[in-house]
Structure 1
């Protein structure tokens, strides 16, 4: 049987991506630190959609745990069809005030773990000339992000890496896509202590809608998937606005 790996699968966009893939009859390998939530989701999805669900607990900010995760998945002798690198974290506030460990954790989870997982499974897809990777970035990738500087920078890395990999495997039967959602109604905002301006809060999208758009775009082979007109508008104008003006706008969006 073929399986789709989804990291950060127990909440937010990751959870809704799990449901969308399950509803389209993909067997799943779900990864998170929370074993209890994984068990609950496994029971729910396997029963409702009649699919097979494997679960693995892993702190993706730790390289040794990623090594163990990948070894365990490979030793399971299952066929991996898709990898969804969804796990991510953010922080909010002036760079010089955020504790060092918080920003380094963002780099470890948003950049290092995504790169690590991709380094393991992309060669596998290339060897089989089939498969795909969906990386979850953000509209934050299109601009500098005052008061969320490391988070925005990490998402720019994800966007850049994905576009580069897409070009490298363009002659192979491998899907490479990047999801760039804008503000989404999940626990991410609270966990990162984000203080969005009121007008930005009103434009938040539902995570289930984001996940559905992401799945459809990925299966169709789109490179960059941006859910929602407002987010497409933001991404477009971030390319043509003067950088100084863009940075001031992002500061306002972030409520500062």
Structure 2
């Protein structure tokens, strides 16, 4: 397995204040990377930076930014450029979902999902990957979801946004073949993170009660990191989730829609 650690190279992790992003940051620190930690909330990242410095001697740059806005993305790029940081690993983890009928959920948060889950991920990748290509080395881990493999009634925008992430990542993986830069899409199923609390703000789906099983954030992060080191295009942690991804292409659309609607519907 290829060793992706480079001395004094940086890994930039978005959504690093909690959950999968926090666990990925910890794994990268353990492997010897300096970090650029990005999220809206700076206090949890500062605490994480102190912990990782004590445990691994890791240098961390903490950047508070709302990546759902164009200025948030620009502020991250500006910080990296002004500090002349060489980003060897980009982890696009920041994102959120909302459960409920499309016509009943507020418009702005749904558009915000598109801005964060799609626009920010695309913009950061475009800003940082050309330098990786020029150096002929680098890694990009885009956190998609098992939701990417089918449409999602009652979470329509979220599922569609993650389908974009999977499609974009797989295409870029192939485009950059032979360039020294590897792109991996991480597609977890339901995971114990703060994501569920925000997604269930308007409606709590049956899925969030774990009928198909749950993974913890560390398991998901470790699966993503292994796939990143191996240069795999896509990884789906958890047997049940992999089974769903395998059968999605051959399952009739009407069946997929009804099954997904059932699991996304409210428990009550």
The alignment's TM-score, normalised by the length of structure 1, stands at 0.97
The offset of 1:22, in angstroms, is: 1.3
Which residues in structure 2 correspond to 1:68-107 (within 5 Å)?
A: 68-107=75-114
Residue pair 2:190, 2:207 contacting (<8 A) in 1 also: no
Q: What SS class does the counterpart of residue 96 from structure 2 fall into?
A: coil
- Cα deviation 1:168-219 (Å, max 9, x = unaligned): 1102111110000000011111111152326961401111111111101111
> Residue in 1 aligned with 2:134?
127
The offset of 1:159, in angstroms, is: 0.4
Residue pair 2:190, 2:208 contacting (<8 A) in 1 also: no
- Using the TM superposition, name which of 16-25 and 216-225 deviates more: 16-25
The offset of 1:18, in angstroms, is: 1.0
Q: What SS class does the counterpart of residue 113 from structure 1 fall into?
A: helix
> Residue in 1 aligned with 2:41?
34
Residue pair 1:183, 1:200 contacting (<8 A) in 2 also: no
Q: Which runs of 5+ in 1 are unaligned?
A: none
User: Structure 1 residues 165 and 242 mapped into 2: Cα distance closer, same or farther (>3 Å)?
Assistant: same
> Residue in 2 aligned with 1:232?
242
> Residue in 2 aligned with 1:204?
214
1:11 to 5, 18, 33: 18
User: Structure 1 residues 99 and 198 mapped into 2: Cα distance closer, same or farther (>3 Å)?
Assistant: closer
Distance between the aligned counterparts of 2:23 and 2:84, measured in 1?
A: 26
Distance between the aligned counterparts of 2:69 and 2:207, measured in 1?
A: 36
- Cα deviation 1:139-164 (Å, max 9, x = unaligned): 00000000000000000000000011
1:152 aligns with 2:151: no
The offset of 1:21, in angstroms, is: 1.2
Q: Number of aligned pairs?
A: 256
2:182 to 175, 182, 189: 175
1:191 aligns with 2:198: yes
1:223 to 223, 226, 233: 233
> Residue in 1 aligned with 2:31?
24
Q: What SS class does the counterpart of residue 171 from structure 1 fall into?
A: coil
- Quote the RMSD (CA, aligned, Å): 1.3
Q: What SS class does the counterpart of residue 230 from structure 1 fall into?
A: helix
